[in-house]
Amino acid sequence: MPFLSYLLARRLIRPAPAAAAAAAAAASWRSFTTTEGSRPIIVHKRSIDILHDPWFNKGTAFSMTERDRLDLRGLLPPNVMTPQQQIDRFMVDLKRFQVNARDGPSDTNSLAKWRILNRLHDRNETMYYKVLTDHIEEYAPIVYTPTVGLVCQNYSGLFRRPRGMYFSAADRGEMMSMVYNWPAEQVDMIVVTDGSRILGLGDLGVQGIGIAIGKLDLYVAAAGINPQRVLPVMIDVGTNNEKLLQDPLYLGLQQHRLDGEDYLAVVDEFMEAVFTRWPHVIVQFEDFQSKWAFKLLQRYRNTYRMFNDDVQGTAGVAIAGLLGAVRAQGSPMTDFPKQKIVVAGAGSAGIGVLNTARKTMARMLGNTESAFESARKQFWLVDAKGLITDERPDIDPDALPFSRKSIEVERHGLKEGSSLTEVVKKVKPDVLLGLSAVGGLFSREVLEALKESTSTRPAIFPMSNPTKNAECTPEEAFSILGEQILFASGSPFNNVQLGNGKIGHSNQGNNMYLFPGIGLGTLLSGARVISDGMLQAAAECLAAYMKDEDIHNGIIYPPISSIRDITQEVAAAVIREVVAEDLAEGHRDMDTRELQRLDKEETLQYVKKSMWDPVYPTLVYRSEV
């Protein structure tokens, strides 16, 4: 049986479509038509209730027959619009703010665009995701970094309709029943934060829910997760942000953060509640302060289907970029263990990258204990107090493996606490990576010092978010270091015109390239847990995605416009790893044995056909029995 028919027969593609209708729906991806003629969706509401339900609302695109069927006649303007006309009308409104909009907090336009998109999200999810998916490069910076940071900072003022769930310290003992207040019977993907470290903006308390919403927008747009099955969650254990504690308009618990066992008890209860109601859900931990990020990951990763995006997703994206940098030097990827890497920032992201980079090097060197030890010597870790060595009192246990021995650093003319500039001057690194959340940290002095790099193509990755926290801009990097460098920032920047028609490429090195595929691959394979091997497969897939020609031109990550395609590839790579590691429990009708039978191409087709498309379904009313 051809694979498509096989999937259709097993209802793996969409709610029980006829084959012809499914094919039509697939073809309509670009044109945003309705799926009239395909198997309808049964709804238990009608009239004004349908118009107020963003999951089913089509607004002016309800056909006359549907208006009759759902008691909508007279409740909408009489002119029936095509879905495309709807989008055209919406885009006129959105584009009013197009005039030279710049990212970042000084850009009032980005917030205005977010408001317009958010209002659409609230009234018509299908259309919202159609707009987002078709214009992802343009609007990812609005629903995600950098604008989402501004949104979180101003959340109390922007809050209109609630989205997602809030589990607070005041809900202890109630979560197991509260979780049933969520209207969806099925939830595939949860992104949860406790708001303690939102991007590089610090503790934003309950307002951090904006980041969970933004990440899930990318799950829908990039990974095709059904928006009815995503759930943003805020665990509100208080905030240590004094400004918010004093703010009478603050929406969260006005108390200091719980800590220690009290904190853990809240997060444990939340995990138990969501996995009880939805045993197959995947939980992505997002923007937890480093202090808890590692502990929670270790606590849950062998029991629940969860991962920490900042620790694990970021690491994979950074490794893919670093392997690209090696290729750009004209060397094989196996030369990665020769790279000297200076990392500024010893938090969840910096340490996450270092752990993965070290393991990757060790694997390339034969995966022995001595390979692991020798890989350690390639890294130099600098935090707010300078270079980290074994002389540091009260060293953070997560940073400990990367502290340099004093005897080693003395040989380089360095010492405990040496400044970033001194470290760069003496080490002459191939790579300078910033995960410090300190805007401008890669000052002129630091960049001048990097001129001594022993690499033919030094890599500069100011990965901190949002834009104002980037350690340097591409203009600064290219103007000081010249056209040969490789540049990747966490938030998007424009390319730089270098003169003579040459372009300095600004890559966006952001975990958005990986987390949607990691989540989708985990979902479609029904992996029991999320293993290191799955994360590695995802990173290798991203690294291999780039062609030599692009890499040589300084393009080390794909354009955001192809994120849906990359996500499919990453998800397929993850599924194959899940099967190889015997972690698969299957997904719906695709059981473990069938997953094992799929070859590479069939796995990719399975992923593609399982993704949700923003297309209006036909709605039919039935009263609830």
Ligand X SMILES: NC(=O)C1=CN([C@@H]2O[C@H](COP(=O)(O)OP(=O)(O)OC[C@H]3O[C@@H](n4cnc5c(N)ncnc54)[C@H](O)[C@@H]3O)[C@@H](O)[C@H]2O)C=CC1
Per the annotation, where are the binding residues for a divalent metal cation?
A: 286-287, 310
Q: How far apart are CA 566 and CA 551, in angstroms?
A: 16
Check residue 336 and give left, alpha or beta (phi > 0: left; psi -120 to 50: alpha): alpha
User: Would you list the DSSP string of 282-350?
Assistant: EEEE-S--HHHHHHHHHHHTTTSSEEEIIIIIHHHHHHHHHHHHHHHTT--GGGGGG--EEEE--SHHH
Whether 486 and 554 have beta carbons less than 8 Å apart is answered as yes
Q: Is residue 310 involved in binding Mg ion (CB under 5 A)?
A: yes
Q: Look-up: residue for tokens 């890499």?
A: 551
Question: Which residue is catalytic, options 129, 139, 144, 557?
Answer: 144
Binding residues for (S)-malate: 197, 465, 510
Question: Which residue is catalytic, options 58, 215, 359, 425?
Answer: 215
Q: C-beta of 114: minimal distance to ligand CC(=O)C(=O)O in Å? A: 17
Q: Is residue 465 involved in binding ligand CC(=O)C(=O)O (CB under 6 A)?
A: yes
- Among residues 66, 103, 194, 287, the one that binds Mg ion under rule CB under 5 A: 287
| Tokens coding 283 | 């939980």
Binding residues: 197, 286-287, 310, 465, 510
Q: Which residue is nearest to ligand X (CB)?
A: 347
Which amino acid would we find at residue 166? Y
Q: C-beta of 467: minimal distance to ligand X in Å? A: 11
Choose among ligand X, Mg ion, ligand CC(=O)C(=O)O, none what residue 238 binds, the Cβ cut-off being 5 to 8 Å by kind. Answer: none
Site for ligand CC(=O)C(=O)O in 117-176 (CB under 6 A): 145
Q: Is residue 348 involved in binding ligand X (CB under 6 A)?
A: yes
For residue 494, give the 3-state DSSP assignment: coil
Site string for ligand X, 270-309 (x = CB under 6 A): --------------------x-------------------
Closer residue to ligand CC(=O)C(=O)O, CB minimum distance, 145 or 355: 145
Q: C-beta of 347: minimal distance to ligand X in Å? A: 2
144 given a catalytic annotation? yes
Whether 536 and 355 have beta carbons less than 8 Å apart is answered as no
> Phi/psi at 474 (nearest 5 deg)?
-65, -35
- Among residues 312, 455, 511, 522, the one that binds ligand CC(=O)C(=O)O under rule CB under 6 A: 511
Choose among Mg ion, ligand CC(=O)C(=O)O, ligand X, none what residue 290 binds, the Cβ cut-off being 5 to 8 Å by kind. Answer: ligand X
Q: Which stretch binds ligand X (CB under 6 A): 16-24, 429-437, 452-460, 600-608?
A: 429-437
Q: Which stretch binds Mg ion (CB under 5 A): 307-315, 384-392, 471-479, 557-565?
A: 307-315
* Strand 379-383 versus strand 386-387 pairing type: antiparallel
| Tokens coding 514 | 């990986």
**DSSP element (H, E) containing 166:** strand 165-168
Nearest to 70 by CA among 89, 53, 90, 86: 53
Closer residue to ligand X, CB minimum distance, 310 or 577: 310
Q: C-beta of 309: minimal distance to ligand CC(=O)C(=O)O in Å? A: 6
Q: How far apart are CA 166 and CA 194, in angstroms?
A: 10
| Tokens coding 241 | 């942000």
Check residue 554 and give left, alpha or beta (phi > 0: left; psi -120 to 50: alpha): left
Closer residue to ligand CC(=O)C(=O)O, CB minimum distance, 309 or 383: 309
Q: Is residue 321 involved in binding ligand CC(=O)C(=O)O (CB under 6 A)?
A: no
**DSSP element (H, E) containing 85:** helix 83-95
| Tokens coding 183 | 């209207």
Closer residue to Mg ion, CB minimum distance, 287 or 471: 287
Nearest to 495 by CA among 484, 504, 482: 504
Whether 132 and 218 have beta carbons less than 8 Å apart is answered as no
Choose among ligand CC(=O)C(=O)O, ligand X, Mg ion, none what residue 384 binds, the Cβ cut-off being 5 to 8 Å by kind. Answer: ligand X
Site for ligand X in 453-512 (CB under 6 A): 463-465, 469, 490, 509-511
Choose among ligand X, Mg ion, ligand CC(=O)C(=O)O, none what residue 241 binds, the Cβ cut-off being 5 to 8 Å by kind. Answer: none
Q: C-beta of 1: minimal distance to Mg ion in Å? A: 43
Closer residue to ligand X, CB minimum distance, 322 or 441: 441
| Tokens coding 513 | 């390239």
Q: C-beta of 513: minimal distance to ligand X in Å? A: 9
- Among residues 107, 236, 310, 540, the one that binds ligand CC(=O)C(=O)O under rule CB under 6 A: 310
215 given a catalytic annotation? yes
Q: How far apart are CA 127 and CA 83, in angstroms?
A: 8
Q: Which residue is nearest to ligand CC(=O)C(=O)O (CB)?
A: 465
Q: Look-up: residue for tokens 């107090």?
A: 385
Can you give 408-464 as a three-state secondary structure string?
HHHHCCCCCCCCHHHHHHHHCCCEEEECCCCCCCCCHHHHHHHHHCCCCCCEEEECC
Q: Which stretch binds Mg ion (CB under 5 A): 61-69, 172-180, 303-311, 536-544?
A: 303-311
* Strand 502-504 versus strand 496-499 pairing type: antiparallel
Site for ligand CC(=O)C(=O)O in 190-209 (CB under 6 A): 199
Site for ligand X in 542-571 (CB under 6 A): none
Instruction: Provide the angle, in degrees to the nearest 10, between the axes of the packed helices 563-580 and 532-545.
Output: 140
Q: How far apart are CA 584 and CA 516, in angstroms?
A: 18
DSSP state of 206: G
> Phi/psi at 343 (nearest 5 deg)?
-115, 125
For the chain, the C-alpha Rg in angstroms (whole number) is 25
Q: C-beta of 609: minimal distance to ligand X in Å? A: 29
Q: Please provide the distance, in angstroms rounded to a whole number, between the alpha carbons at the two ends of the chain.
A: 38
Q: Is residue 217 involved in binding ligand CC(=O)C(=O)O (CB under 6 A)?
A: no
Number of CB atoms found within 10 A of residue 104's CB: 17
Site string for ligand X, 315-344 (x = CB under 6 A): --x--------------------------x
**DSSP element (H, E) containing 515:** helix 515-525
Q: Is residue 346 involved in binding ligand X (CB under 6 A)?
A: yes
Residues that bind ligand X (CB under 6 A): 197, 199-200, 290, 310, 314, 317, 344-350, 382-384, 420, 435-438, 441, 463-465, 469, 490, 509-511
**Which residues lie near ligand CC(=O)C(=O)O (CB under 6 A)?**
145, 199, 287, 309-310, 465, 490, 510-511
Residues with active-site annotation = 144, 215
Q: Which residues bind to Mg ion, rule: CB under 5 A?
A: 287, 310
